[in-house]
Amino acid sequence: MPDLDREGGWLLTLDDTPQSYVDLSDPTHLEFEYTRRLGHLADVLAPEGEPLDALHLGGGALTLPRYLATTRPGSRQLAVEADGPLVELVAEVLPWTGQGIEVAVGDAREHLAQLAPGSWDLVVADVFQGSRTPAHLTSVEFVRLAAGALRPGGAYAANLADGAPLAFAAAQAATVRAVFPHTCLVAEPSVLRGRRFGNLLLIGSDQPLRVDALARRLAADPFPARLVEGPDLRRLVGTATPVTDAEARPSPPPPKGAFSIE
């Protein structure tokens, strides 16, 4: 649907859940809060304007790939989207040709397992079936596949959603920490305090992340987010243990109205 309040703006909604927002006239405009946080991560991964090789698990309307194509010309990007008819619809209404973005239709984990190791600077997992993350994309085995696809110094980022008591988020943080020696979590303070259901971004790398630069960008957002690492992250994880394939479950269903347009 076109955004009547912003020329060039388009909203993609699936099963009554907003999935993507794209501004064709200004691809650097990131409407959704969690997308801006992913954009901030991409901004601090490499010097300004330097191309990145980015793998996007979950395509939607290709908001972040369009952002990177504009802010980092020459970036090599692959988006894997399971919904073939959705890819066709986006190609028809919001075409992306000429931007260096390749789109593959298929299961994110199956496609990830087939990619050459050590070939990406950024791997983003942003896969939802309706409003829930599929179980097979929440396990330590899956995160290890993502880690194997990264170059040294690359970053893995997973967009998840949870609410009080944040049991799913704690288990996912434990899962990412089991694979990456450097891990942080990003979310609004109200989500971290369990006051509302919302998005959380988990970030992992084999090398130290530029957390100070990222935290400054997060704090300057219209809806500021907090970056949690070190002892604070350990406290959030508590007694949670890494999730294996055998025990993996989808993310919790959101309460009605939790994902109104941000």
Q: Residue range 125-152: average pLDDT?
A: 95
* Positions of E strands within the chain: 9-14, 17-23, 53-57, 76-81, 101-105, 120-125, 150-162, 182-187, 198-205, 226-228
**Sign of CA pseudo-dihedral 175, 181, 187, 193:** positive
Q: What is the pLDDT of residues 210-259, one digit of tens each?
A: 999 999 999 999 999 999 999 999 999 999 999 999 999 999 999 876 66
Round to whole Å and give the CA distance between 254 and 199: 10
Among 3.40.50.150, 1.20.1250.20, 3.60.15.10, 3.30.365.10, name the CATH number for the domain at 29-237: 3.40.50.150
The pLDDT score that the predictor gives to residue 203 is: 98
Rounded average pLDDT over 109-137 = 95
Q: Is the pLDDT of residue 117 over 60?
A: yes
For 125, the 3-state DSSP assignment is strand
What average pLDDT does range 136-145 have in this prediction? 98
HEC readout, 61-90: CCHHHHHHHHHCCCCEEEEEECCHHHHHHH
Q: Hey, where are the domains in the chain? A: 29-237
What per-residue confidence (pLDDT) applies to 207?
97
Dihedrals phi, psi of 122, to nearest 5 degrees: -145, 130
Nearest to 61 by CA among 110, 113, 8, 109: 8
* Residue of 245, 164, 223, 230 whose CA lies nearest to 30: 223
| Residue 127: closest CA among 19, 13, 260, 247 | 19
pLDDT-derived band at 94 (thresholds 50, 70, 90) equals very high
